[in-house]
Structure 1
Amino acid sequence: MTQELNDGLPAREAALTLIEAALSRRGGIDEAASANGFRFLEPRERAFARALAMAVLRHLGPIDRALTAKLQKAPPERVMNLLRLGAAQAFYLEVPAFAAVATSVELAGANKTSRPFKGLVNAVLRGLLRDGQPADDPALLAPPWLYARWVAAFGAATAREIAGQIALEPATDLSLKPSANASALAEALEAELLDGGTLRLRRKGDVASWPHFEDGTWWVQDAAAAVPARLLTLKPGDSVLDLCAAPGGKTLQLAATGATVTALDRSPARLKRVDENLERTQMTAEVVAADAAVWEDTRTFDAILLDAPCSATGTFRRHPDVLWAARPGDVASLAGVQSRILDSAADRLKSGGQLVYCVCSLEPEEGEAQVEAFLARRKDMALEPITAGEGGSAGFPGASLTARGTLRLLPHHRDGGQDGFFAARFRKR
């Protein structure tokens, strides 16, 4: 982080707000980032505030362990977040130690709750800096309850590899229109061309200013998130339903095949992103705001893609807040939602049609267990195994393809990382 950003208290106060929101509720960081107090910052300050908040969330476990060793008892939450903020500045953003301490103390003095703890903030941070940067032990990077689930599901060694990705800042992946010249775009964007046609780049800044954004040649989409739509066998004119479609990356993939696409999501606000992306890329789809489980439409479709609501634990590379806002009960409650939408999707599928079910979750209850329960209650549906190399997965290790013919894409299964995804394909008898 450049030195000119290191002297702004408004950016640090905004980062504190983002951290508090991220740790208090799911989706809180996005709400806080869209609030007026954040949006009215200068672009440079906004970028620094977000980088600060992300650094805290990516390294929260090791930071908290180091802080706890310095504290006799837990201080008020605002004070704890100030300590986290100071540690992240010095250890992960190369802010000079004196600036990390001084700004944290000044922020403490500006609030009546934290003002009595100015001396504590100063002493603890100075002691922490003397000890040096805490090690990013993978076992500490995720909440203990969630890490224990990964150990149970995938084994200790794999759990460590998954969690090790939390501390790493991800690259940006782009999906391209089929007509795009991938090699030329890779050169223009200084990007790496991955299997399946995804471009991966380390470019920073506003994506709207990147080459060929305005002409709609590409859109931002993680390499793993691009796989499920490619598992459908489509031809021009096929009717396709994209359930839970926002923000629309998969909708664009489906529309690019020439299929007739209906994109459905329960959130009108999120569907605005779908409309904007369709307009920018000059592609078309019917956009519908409705609850996928109870949508009152009698049409049936040749193919359906269901990216179901889930715990989103596989998206932690870009959204580390999902790990800390999640609660153990979330997985079970979301699994019930997924099963209802799966049944609704099956009812809307034509005989002989394909259904791809996917979730950006690492939790087996939302993936493998859903498949088995669905097949047990729906005798009209059959699992259609995915084969090696499908969906642009040629670069994945064999572990990504399960014995049942489903895909379990883990964050460390690709060089440079990817989102964690589960995908299964069905055919209606």
Structure 2
Amino acid sequence: MAQRERAPKSPDAVRPDRTSGDPGLAARRFAVDILAEVLEGHRPLDRVLDHRATMPAYRALSPADRALVRALVATCLRRLGLVDDAIRRMMEKQLPAKALRAKQILRIGATQVLFMEVPDHAAVSLATELADRDRDARPWKALVNGVLRSLVRRRDEVLADQDAERLVTPLWLWREWSETWGEDAARAFARVHMVEPALDLTVKSDAAGWAERLGGIVLPTGSVRVIAHGRIERLDGFEEGEWWIQDAAAALPARLLGDVAGLRVADLCAAPGGKTAQLAAAGAKVTAVDISAGRLDRLKQNLARLHLDGVEAVTADLGVWTPDEAFDAVLLDAPCSATGTLRRNPDVGRLKKATDVEDLGHVQSYLLSRAVDWVKPGGLFVYCTCSLQKAEGEDQIAAFLAGGAPFDRVPITADEVGGLADAITADGALRTRPDQMPDVDPRLGGLDGFYAVRLRRRP
């Protein structure tokens, strides 16, 4: 049975909403707006939240209410299949297509009833009031009220009867993961994806010391994992540039290049810059290339905060860019479906589809062919993707090498990745999965799904 999660609590959490004058109503309205932008507008959640953060009305919310908005939307997306199934059980027939606004209001209301420690009467009454005040949703006000009241009465019955692992996984991913990894693994992935993960940090030095200061733990891979509360910028060490946010799995590929001190290294598709920071901190002369000028600006801001130099940031399309000379080492974090990041980005499974994997496969293949001549003879090349789809990892590299690329595999060993022997494939590549590195506290367990392979260019 899926568990209910705590909504952010603080003395300000129930104070009157500044924009509407009604307690909590503005937060729910923003949650509905954002959910609609993601699911109807097909926009990534992070991008939508970044845009909202620039709006005066959103910024007028208390910090607790902004945290509530994020929690409402993220929890809804993380468990959308369960939410929709529960709503369907309470209705005799589906909502008409023109009732989209009412549908999103129902989803936010049901998320609170099923999975958040929000009083049932507040969840129901605020959703009903929101429907009443919304011209597009008003015709379904009574339905919203009735469905949510029924859900309150039947909550335990519904949750006990749901196949949670199957319902939270989009059908196209369920089918592919079950075929590729087996149904037991697909269910294990889903259990991880239902839990909001802790924050992973890559620290410049003294991981144990920073874990103690931040109340976290040191993972076997060397990352510090913290259950953070409040704004990240207010954590110890942020302003001083002592660490940066980076999933523990995402921190592994750059380490596969070994000692890079003094070497010229290309970080291709570099933004948001976690791997660039790792390479710069290790003493490499880094050329960070990305097609997005905005994302590169953020990368440069992060490097400035971290007091890391020796990085040349280049805004360029890798399809037309060519370096002046080959590099000692190249890291290509190729564009992919990002299905390995569902634990942190619950919108991915709803925004991507199977055809995207095929389309991105062509991009990955092309970038691999472009990068061949950018590695010096004898130099190392690491290819990685944050995807759980073999088509974007294992299959891509098998085709690359079978096509005559002048590279040989350099097997990765468990000691290079914190002893994660179960993450080393038979051919010496790295394959991390969400169900690896479990913990008694589910928030402290798991990894993003990553594939990485290390190759050396033949002399």
2:254 is equivalent to residue 243 of structure 1: no
User: Unpaired segments of 5 or more residues in structure 2?
Assistant: 1-6, 15-22, 439-444
Query: Is the deviation greater in 129-138 or in 231-240?
Result: 129-138
- 2:335 equivalent in structure 1: 309
2:182 is equivalent to residue 150 of structure 1: no
- 1:20 equivalent in structure 2: 36
Query: Is the deviation greater in 363-372 or in 293-302?
Result: 293-302
Partner letter of residue 182 of structure 2?
G
Alpha-carbon spacing, 1:372–1:382, altered in 2? closer, same or farther (3 Å): same
Partner letter of residue 94 of structure 1?
E
2:217 is equivalent to residue 201 of structure 1: no
Equivalences for 1:10-409 in 2 at 5 Å?
10-33=26-49, 34-35=51-52, 36=55, 37-75=57-95, 76-133=99-156, 134=159, 135=162, 137-177=164-204, 180-284=205-309, 285-392=311-418, 394=419, 396=420, 398-409=421-432
Paired residue secondary structure (1:71): coil
What CA distance in whole angstroms lies between the structure 1 residues aligned with 2:457 and 2:391? 23
Displacement after TM superposition at 1:84 (Å): 1.1
What CA distance in whole angstroms lies between the structure 1 residues aligned with 2:361 and 2:169? 21
Displacement after TM superposition at 1:297 (Å): 2.7
Query: Is the deviation greater in 288-297 or in 402-411?
Result: 288-297
Paired residue secondary structure (1:362): coil
What CA distance in whole angstroms lies between the structure 2 residues aligned with 1:363 and 1:26? 21
- 2:17 equivalent in structure 1: none
Paired residue secondary structure (2:405): coil
Conserved 8 A contact 1:26-1:322: no
What CA distance in whole angstroms lies between the structure 1 residues aligned with 2:188 and 2:74? 20
What CA distance in whole angstroms lies between the structure 2 residues aligned with 1:367 and 1:40? 44
Normalised TM-score (structure 1): 0.95
Partner letter of residue 126 of structure 1?
R
Partner letter of residue 353 of structure 1?
G
Normalised TM-score (structure 2): 0.89
What CA distance in whole angstroms lies between the structure 2 residues aligned with 1:329 and 1:401? 28
Conserved 8 A contact 2:113-2:123: yes
- 2:13 equivalent in structure 1: 5
- 1:411 equivalent in structure 2: 434
Displacement after TM superposition at 1:60 (Å): 0.7
Conserved 8 A contact 2:372-2:405: no
RMSD of the TM alignment (CA)?
1.5
Alpha-carbon spacing, 1:91–1:69, altered in 2? closer, same or farther (3 Å): closer
Query: Is the deviation greater in 99-108 or in 73-82?
Result: 73-82
Kindly provide the CA deviation profile for residues 193-220 of structure 1, in whole angstroms up to 9, marking residues without a partner as x.
1123210011211111111111111111
Partner letter of residue 101 of structure 1?
V
Displacement after TM superposition at 1:27 (Å): 3.8
Conserved 8 A contact 2:330-2:381: yes
- 2:441 equivalent in structure 1: none
Displacement after TM superposition at 1:5 (Å): 2.5
What CA distance in whole angstroms lies between the structure 1 residues aligned with 2:93 and 2:113? 23
% same residue: 45
Conserved 8 A contact 1:189-1:210: yes
Partner letter of residue 237 of structure 1?
G
Conserved 8 A contact 1:227-1:391: yes
Paired residue secondary structure (2:276): helix
